Amino acid sequence: MPQTTRVILGAFALSMAGFAAQAGDIEAGAAAFASQCQNCHNVTDSDGEVLAGRPNVRTGPNLYGVFGRQAGTYDGFRYGASLVEAGEAGLEWTPDNMTPYLLDPVSFLRETLDNNRARSQMSFRVRDEGTAADIIAFLTQFSDVAEDEDAEAAAEG
């Protein structure tokens, strides 16, 4: 096999491995949420049922339906000015942009706002992309994103 073909196949294999890692694992995400996120966040539906996390947690906003939501807008939560500004500038949470936010909230906001003074009230950082992908997979089940993906799959099928 020529060297060029091996390089191309190797790059393809690595990109597919990266894609698979980004897909995330819901069960691993539930465990990561329980160990890393629930001290500040919960997932509570519109009926008030706590689906994940602890009841009455008020440090961070409720993450029910977070994907598709304009950043900095969950009613009843007081966000930092930088996140509100990012939301007003059009930042809407998606699984794709949540990863860099989870890995480094301050850097994400600084880059998004093109402002080196931007700050995040979320001081916690997820350690790696795999864990971020797992948390995102877990949270996706509580958002319209999961319903949108099911509808797309049904339309294609």
- Say which range, 91-95, 118-122, 125-129, 148-152, has the weakest mean pLDDT: 148-152
Alpha-carbon distances, residue 53 vs 65, 79, 131 (angstroms): 15, 20, 17
The pTM for the full model equals 0.75
Query: How much is the pLDDT for 56?
Result: 79
Domain count, the chain: 1
**What CATH number corresponds to the domain at position 17?**
1.10.760.10
Nearest Cα to 122, choosing from 106, 100, 138?
A: 106
Q: Which helix (H) or strand (E) holds 44?
A: strand 43-44
Alpha-carbon distances, residue 157 vs 20, 129, 147, 151, 154 (angstroms): 22, 30, 15, 10, 5
Query: How much is the pLDDT for 54?
Result: 87
Beta bridge partner(s), residue 43: 52
Query: How much is the pLDDT for 11?
Result: 39
pLDDT at 5 over 90: no
Q: Which helix (H) or strand (E) holds 95?
A: helix 95-103
Domain extent, residue 63, equals 3-156
Mean pLDDT of 11-28: 57
pLDDT at 149 over 60: no
Mean pLDDT of 58-78: 92
Query: How much is the pLDDT for 31?
Result: 96
Identify which has the larger pLDDT, 68 or 7.
68
Q: What is the DSSP letter of 141?
A: T
Q: What is the DSSP letter of 7?
A: H
Contacts of 128 (CB under 8 A, 6+ apart): 103
